[in-house]
Chain A
Amino acid sequence: MKRDATYYQMTDLLKITGLGVRFRALSPLAALLQREADPWIDAVLDVSLDVAPGETVALVGESGSGKTTLGRSILGLVRPQTGSIEFEGAELCGLSEAAYKPVRRNIAMMFQDPVASLSRRRSVRAQIAEPYKVHDMPADDDETDSLMELVGLNRSFRNRFPHELSGGQARRVGVARALTLSPKLIIADEPTAGLDVSVQGEILNLMRDLQQKLGISYLIVTHNLPVVQHVSDRIAVMYLGRLLEQGDTRSIFKRPAHPYTRVLLDAVPQPDPAKRRELTSIEGEVPSLRERPTGCEFHPRCAHKQERCSWDSPESQSLADGRLVRCHFPLA
């Protein structure tokens, strides 16, 4: 989506500031017995991110980086301890379960596994109509039919059950169900995981068409970088619960500023035998959230680290092109 002058005057649809989500790793008793001063793990730490209307933002990172937790916290499926989430200017943090319910009309979620996220014992039509039921709205067959048409499912699928669907078809049901209440924001957790390349394109094209038709915003949680490059307007890169870099997709792919972003981009295997590289493969793996490294949390794996990185934790700084980078020595 093109950003013109009006973009900067628009209010953000979703505005996350300083969000923190912690999980208890040890029970109070176990913590006492093991003399553990800090029984918590921070799954999301000081995350600020916004999504404009009609925009697609991709949240990328390795497993365990907190992407899914961040997505779920927006829907109130996990409750953040610090920070704020504003949706259309209204604060979501601290809402009661009852107060959250109307919010979920406007924010929908597509869950990770297309088949497992459907109920095995209910027909496609019942699954698509379920959000109406949850929100005490009259469910009408015409509307489910038109939703199915919208996502490219033939009417004959109405009475089928999930085991009778292919992965791509199940994903379409997931998209239809997310669209049921005409939300303004859809959080899509790995929308293409487990799909074949040819089907993956179909689903992403469908999501884009719907965005153009209905003006929906997407927050796509994924680790599939080749896909992100084509579908998202902006990217936010997460590592150990923090955002290390965020900015315009094009400029990040052209010149990643954070060494971690660079590593992620370089690691994608190239479907071109001539480009077989002597892999400058990254050492090590994501550290445990319980033993966060000091200073910059990426420094133990960073090829560009300097002495300062091991003790001084970098703040987020903005670059000339508006990108935010959490690094002392950005590459771009």
Chain B
Amino acid sequence: MEPVLSIKDLSVDFSTPTGPIHALRRVNLSVPQKRIVGIVGESGSGKSTVVSAVMRLLANNANVRGGEIYFEGRNIFTMKEKELRAMRGEDIAMVFQDPMTAQTPVLSVGQQMIDIQYRRSLPYKEKRQQAIEMLNRVGIPDADDRVDQYPHQFSGGMRQRISIAMALMMNPKLLIADEPTTALDVTLEAQIIHLFRELRKTFDGSIIVVSHNLGLIAELCDEVVVMYAGEVVERAPVDDIFYRAAHPYTRALLNCDPARLGELTQDLPTIPGEVPDLQKVPAGCIFSSRCAEDFDTCACQRPLMAAVTSAHEARCHLLSND
């Protein structure tokens, strides 16, 4: 089956007074139908830039230097503004990190959800009914009454549920959830994870989950893409990432997570060194300066994606050298 979304060799620069920042370099990514793909990486890894590029909502100083993004076979870089607007929100919907600022405070939740359906030729009452049904589906109690309330009358967890309801309102083919639980308490996080799993049974689109929280990724995703400093360094099914990580960065990242440390320790593992300056991208492997397993080739030659298995690949010289 054709993937819902495929990104091919995407490179994005941001121009700044001191010269361009090479924020994304030759990123390849594909989202198969009905799958949940996780994009994991630390701050500055380019995960949000990828998402903005997919929505074509990049900042003004962004400059797409190369590559294509295909959504259902259509190249979004050649789409007209009108087509893009039809795509956003209807074919691709987004759930943002902060539920407290994702909705407009001046319209009731129901009105906002009715507005989302402006392209549907349905009577007002019908649209309102759709909104109520969707609120029910995401677990808002007394949706019939609460549909007329305003965002400030809901708690943070409820507002994230409402954000999800709004995103699913038009039954999109791709849902992008950008750090959907980062702003929530652990108990609410567990509830939202539970909700996503429930929705999967009825929602037939694909989902991209962007997060730095390895726990969330492990709980939800089928496939994982690991990004570091603007590059995809590893891509694999979720089990391979967590049990058979091939890239030293992925392994280091997993080791750093305090939730994964079996033994109690006072000395928490870290990744020594700093993320390279993306104005002067090093010639070799992007991770070599911080890598525990680097050797002489790493600093001067950029590794290519090497297959570990048919579904698992990583950008590391350790794999290409037999």
What are the residues of chain B within 8 A of A273 when measuring CB–CB? 218-219, 238-239, 242
Are A62 and B187 neighbours in the complex by a CB distance under 8 Å?
yes
Question: Is A250 part of the contact surface with B, judged by Cβ < 8 Å?
Answer: yes
- Do A285 and B157 form a contact, CB below 8 Å, given A202-B270, A269-B193, A269-B213? yes
- Do A230 and B266 form a contact, CB below 8 Å, given A269-B213, A272-B260? yes
- Do A270 and B215 form a contact, CB below 8 Å, given A197-B256, A285-B157? yes
Question: Is A229 part of the contact surface with B, judged by Cβ < 8 Å?
Answer: yes
Are B269 and A270 neighbours in the complex by a CB distance under 8 Å?
no
Bound state CA distance, A202 and B252, in angstroms? Answer: 14
Q: How far is the CB of B68 from chain A (nearest CB, A)?
A: 30
Are A197 and B190 neighbours in the complex by a CB distance under 8 Å?
no
What are the residues of chain A within 8 A of B217 when measuring CB–CB? 271
Are B266 and A282 neighbours in the complex by a CB distance under 8 Å?
no
Are A276 and B219 neighbours in the complex by a CB distance under 8 Å?
yes
Do most interface residues of chain B lie in helix, strand or loop, or is the interface mixed? helix
Are A196 and B185 neighbours in the complex by a CB distance under 8 Å?
no
Question: Is B235 part of the contact surface with A, judged by Cβ < 8 Å?
Answer: no
- Do A197 and B185 form a contact, CB below 8 Å, given A273-B238, A285-B155? no
Question: Is A94 part of the contact surface with B, judged by Cβ < 8 Å?
Answer: no
When C-beta atoms are compared, the residue in chain A nearest to B192 turns out to be: A281
Q: Hey, what's the 0/1 contact readout for A216-238 against B, CB within 8 Å counting as 1?
A: 00000001011101110000000
- Do A205 and B187 form a contact, CB below 8 Å, given A271-B218, A281-B194? no
Question: Is B2 part of the contact surface with A, judged by Cβ < 8 Å?
Answer: no
Question: Is A78 part of the contact surface with B, judged by Cβ < 8 Å?
Answer: no
Of A11-19, A37-45, A123-131, A260-268, the one touching chain B: A260-268
Are B215 and A271 neighbours in the complex by a CB distance under 8 Å?
yes
Bound state CA distance, A208 and B265, in angstroms? Answer: 11
What are the residues of chain B within 8 A of A270 when measuring CB–CB? 215, 218-219, 259
Question: Is B283 part of the contact surface with A, judged by Cβ < 8 Å?
Answer: no
- Do A198 and B186 form a contact, CB below 8 Å, given A205-B270, A230-B258? no
- Do A279 and B190 form a contact, CB below 8 Å, given A198-B270, A229-B258? yes
- Do A196 and B212 form a contact, CB below 8 Å, given A271-B242, A276-B219? yes
Question: Is B62 part of the contact surface with A, judged by Cβ < 8 Å?
Answer: no
How many interface residues does A have (CB within 8 Å)?
39
Bound state CA distance, A269 and B182, in angstroms? Answer: 12
How many interface residues does B have (CB within 8 Å)?
45
Q: How far is the CB of B225 from chain A (nearest CB, A)?
A: 15
Which residues 77-133 of B have a CB within 8 angstroms of A?
none
What are the residues of chain A within 8 A of B271 when measuring CB–CB? 198
What are the residues of chain B within 8 A of A227 when measuring CB–CB? 258
Question: Is A247 part of the contact surface with B, judged by Cβ < 8 Å?
Answer: no
Q: Which of B185, B219, B253 is in CB contact (< 8 Å) with A269?
A: B219
What are the residues of chain A within 8 A of B254 when measuring CB–CB? 271
What are the residues of chain B within 8 A of A230 when measuring CB–CB? 258, 261, 264-266, 268
What are the residues of chain B within 8 A of A275 when measuring CB–CB? 218
Are B193 and A226 neighbours in the complex by a CB distance under 8 Å?
no
When C-beta atoms are compared, the residue in chain B nearest to A197 turns out to be: B256
- Do A223 and B260 form a contact, CB below 8 Å, given A201-B268, A204-B268, A279-B194? no
Question: Is B189 part of the contact surface with A, judged by Cβ < 8 Å?
Answer: yes
Bound state CA distance, A200 and B42, in angstroms? Answer: 11
Bound state CA distance, A250 and B264, in angstroms? Answer: 9
Question: Is B214 part of the contact surface with A, judged by Cβ < 8 Å?
Answer: yes
Q: How far is the CB of A208 from chain B (nearest CB, A)?
A: 6
What are the residues of chain B within 8 A of A231 when measuring CB–CB? 266, 268
Question: Is A159 part of the contact surface with B, judged by Cβ < 8 Å?
Answer: no
Question: Is A302 part of the contact surface with B, judged by Cβ < 8 Å?
Answer: no
Question: Is A167 part of the contact surface with B, judged by Cβ < 8 Å?
Answer: yes
Are A229 and B242 neighbours in the complex by a CB distance under 8 Å?
no
Are B253 and A267 neighbours in the complex by a CB distance under 8 Å?
no
What are the residues of chain B within 8 A of A268 when measuring CB–CB? 186, 215, 259
Question: Is B188 part of the contact surface with A, judged by Cβ < 8 Å?
Answer: yes
Question: Is A332 part of the contact surface with B, judged by Cβ < 8 Å?
Answer: no
Bound state CA distance, A273 and B268, in angstroms? Answer: 22
What are the residues of chain B within 8 A of A199 when measuring CB–CB? 42, 270
Question: Is B52 part of the contact surface with A, judged by Cβ < 8 Å?
Answer: no
Which residues 165-204 of B have a CB within 8 angstroms of A?
185-191, 193-194, 197
Question: Is A318 part of the contact surface with B, judged by Cβ < 8 Å?
Answer: no
When C-beta atoms are compared, the residue in chain B nearest to A260 turns out to be: B187
Which of B252, B265, B266, B267 is the most central at the interface, judged by chain A CB atoms within 10 Å of its CB? B266
- Would you give 28 A-B contacts (Cβ < 8 Å), ordered by A? A62-B186, A62-B187, A196-B43, A197-B253, A198-B271, A199-B270, A200-B258, A201-B256, A202-B270, A205-B267, A205-B268, A208-B267, A223-B186, A226-B257, A230-B266, A231-B268, A268-B186, A269-B190, A269-B193, A269-B259, A271-B242, A271-B257, A271-B260, A272-B242, A273-B218, A281-B191, A282-B191, A285-B155
New contact pairs (11) apart from A269-B193, A272-B260, CB-CB < 8 Å: A196-B42, A198-B252, A199-B42, A199-B270, A200-B268, A268-B186, A269-B189, A269-B216, A272-B218, A273-B238, A276-B219
Which 4 A-B pairs rank lowest in CB-CB distance, beginning with the nearest? A269-B215, A201-B268, A226-B259, A271-B214
A residues engaging B (CB < 8 A)?
62-63, 166-167, 196-202, 204-205, 208, 223, 225-227, 229-231, 250, 263-264, 266-276, 279, 281-282, 285
